Chains A and B, each alone.
Chain A
Amino acid sequence: MADHGVLSFLLTTLEPVNFAACFFGALLGTLIGVLPGLGPAAAMAMVIPLTLKLGPTAGLIMLAGIYYGSMYGGSTTSILVNVPGEPASVVTTLDGYAMARKGRAGAALAISAIGSFVAGTFSVIALQFFAPLLARSALAFGPAEYFVLTVLGVVLLSNLTGKSRSKSLILIMIGLILSTVGMDPIGGLERFSFGIEAAQGGISFIAITTGLFGVAEVLTVMAAKEKPIEVLPVRFRELYPNRKEMKRSVGPIARGSVLGFLIGLLPGPAATMASFASYGLERSISKHKEDFGKGAIEGVAGPESANNAAAGGAMIPLLSLGLPFTPATAVLLGGMLLHGITPGPFLLRDRPDVFWGVIGSFYLGNMMLLILNLPLVGVFAKIVRIPNHYLMPIILVLCAIGAYGDNGALFDVWVMLGAGVLGYVMRKFDYEPAPLVVGLVLGPVMERSFRQALIISQGDASGLWASPLCLAMWGIALLSVILPMIFQTSILTTPEKGI
């Protein structure tokens, strides 16, 4: 594709409807990031019906805005209230809140916003170069390769929660099973719908997602004891770091951007892992180790840059291979499918307007967030003080509308409630719901490619590993199962490190 073509697609972001979608997405994302409990996955699922009205480009720009906006918002409450709005901002509380208590809240917020902007922009530039390369190489994929790729995805994604791999696999299987409800993707035979008309088209992805992430979060928040929250004050004129703080932040921002982007390419809670990895790195190489935990600016700059870069990195497997590596990108994938867009190698060829439009919106969104976040930090921080008994019913109603709006069927709202109760119970039993959503999204692709591959090879199962590409992916899948087991065994059997 000619460069001027790419540029014109990138500039589609500036069209009024796309611009407005980007602004509202980023704003909503920031609000969601501020609120503890409700994450970007639930928020994105809730607004999917609303985005359908906007069309694919603007709709996906809005969803993407919520995704990266939440990364920005999470840091505001970490610094001012000591309550991380997002798991990725947990580590920011250590030094961010300590800085706020010393009267440097403004500097911490400014560095966090600048770091997020720099890292976000860096990851978008990298995304712009790497995603098309990966997508072009994936064009050689046939059904067998696609099937093995989804198997590889399942194996890698079993580490999605960072907790028990077998529990994650169980949930992915349940998600895959739920995806078989409705029409069989090859023959069109109706399966597992039990005569329910609304289930004939399959289980609503939005209903499951809003239930597992939205309703379950509401119930978890309701069950937890509500504590009075003290918001530390911040004045507009304080919103600048001094020269020393700026100088100390340059290195952590640069390192956090690269580290975060690379971690974003891995399956799992990338943004959270990236922020912790960056904090560890900065503490280990810092000349001011004693300041960490007491208000070191590096402890804010590095992790905040890393979690934003990771959010951009996680878009690469989604846009180029159609594989969501995080719960939020799984919802984004679901949103794309509902808009009639199939992410993966053909996205760039078939819908360059959407592909480049979404990437272009990242540039714009990062800039908007920088402008939006600094003057409005005080307002955002106050939102966290809204009592749960007012906020939670609102979220429940919006979840119900999200689930209902998908097909206009009350059955989907019941499914959402069922998924919500299931998600709540799952948390009690130490099961994280994210892998289930991934299974639900990957299911149809996996089944279709599996059956097509067998049809092409005339029932010869060796067709599933005949090509070098398939073999390589099977090898990676096998290694990613075996290596952690060997590693774990060696840790358990080494007396010095034994548990």
Chain B
Amino acid sequence: MTTRKEIASNLVVILFGAVFLSYTTRYPLDTWESPGPAVFPLILGAVLTILGVGQLVRALWKSTRKDHREEQRDGGRSVRESLLRNSGEGKAIRMIAIFILYLLMMQWIGFFVSTFLFGIISSRLTETKDWGRPIALSAGLTLFCYLLFEVWLKLSFPRGVLF
């Protein structure tokens, strides 16, 4: 991992720790004889923030000792260039987007119809060129989910306007 990434990730940890720490003040601390619900989270938030600061100091110390010309060259690349370089990342991002759409659709058209569509769309958008196999796979997957989880396990899935 580059020093820049390390510094960024530690800043996120410190921010998370600090926000959590400030949020714990909303709950009662009570006394040491009978510690309240805020005591344990307060300790955790403090420890996390301290660990984050420690890691950040270490990363900054490393960055001052390191010749990071190469990093600066990397940092100068545009987002588009970076995405082109890592075309795989694009596939992962597409999958996340399709999954979000799947979850949103689930509340509207129901679990089974959206699962059927999700199987087809995700296969098509990631690699597959034909329609037949994704449709067959999706139909099989949906039927399997229906029989195993709904019929046998009696799990109640979200229903929508279609099914």
Give A residues with C-beta under 8 Å from B.
Answer: 49-50, 53, 166-167, 169-170, 173-174, 176-177, 180, 184, 186-187, 189, 191-192, 218-220, 222-226, 387-390, 392-394, 396-397, 400-401, 404-405, 408, 410, 413-414, 417, 421, 424, 428-431, 446-447, 450-451, 454-455, 458-461
Contacts and interface: CB of A to CB of B under 8 A. Distances in A.
Given A189-B27, A222-B91, A431-B9, A405 B127 contact: no
Contacts of B41: 177, 180, 191-192
A225 B103 contact: no
B75 interface: no
Nearest to A175: B44
Given A167-B55, A389-B128, A219 B95 contact: yes
A177 B21 CA distance: 10
Contact of B51 (A170, A222, A224, A428): A170
Interface string B1-29: 10001100100010011001001000110
B63 interface: no
A10 B69 CA distance: 64
A417 B99 contact: yes
A390 B36 CA distance: 51
Given A390-B134, A394-B141, A459-B33, 20 more contacts: A166-B54, A167-B55, A173-B17, A177-B44, A177-B45, A180-B40, A184-B37, A186-B37, A224-B88, A388-B126, A390-B133, A390-B137, A392-B95, A393-B137, A393-B138, A396-B95, A408-B155, A429-B9, A455-B35, A459-B32
B163 interface: no
Interface of B: 1, 5-6, 9, 13, 16-17, 20, 23, 27-28, 31-37, 39-41, 44-45, 47-48, 51-52, 54-55, 58, 86, 88-89, 91-92, 95-96, 99-100, 102-103, 106-107, 115, 118-119, 122-123, 126-128, 133-134, 137-138, 141, 145, 148-149, 153, 155-158
B52 A170 contact: yes
Contact of A430 (B1, B52, B103, B106): B1
Given A392-B95, A429-B9, A414 B37 contact: no
Contacts of A431: 9
A393 B99 CA distance: 9
Contacts of B39: 451
Given A219-B92, A430-B1, A405 B32 contact: no
A429 to B, nearest CB: 5
A177 B20 contact: yes
A28 to B, nearest CB: 13
Contacts of B145: 397, 401
A388 B127 contact: yes
Contacts of A184: 37
Given A191-B37, A455-B33, A461-B32, A392 B5 contact: no
B31, B37, B123, most chain A CB atoms within 10 A: B37
Contacts of A220: 92
Contacts of A394: 119, 137, 141
Contacts of B96: 219, 417, 421
B91 A223 contact: yes
Contacts of A170: 13, 48, 51-52, 55
Contacts of B58: 166
Contact of A393 (B44, B119, B149): B119
A368 B97 CA distance: 42
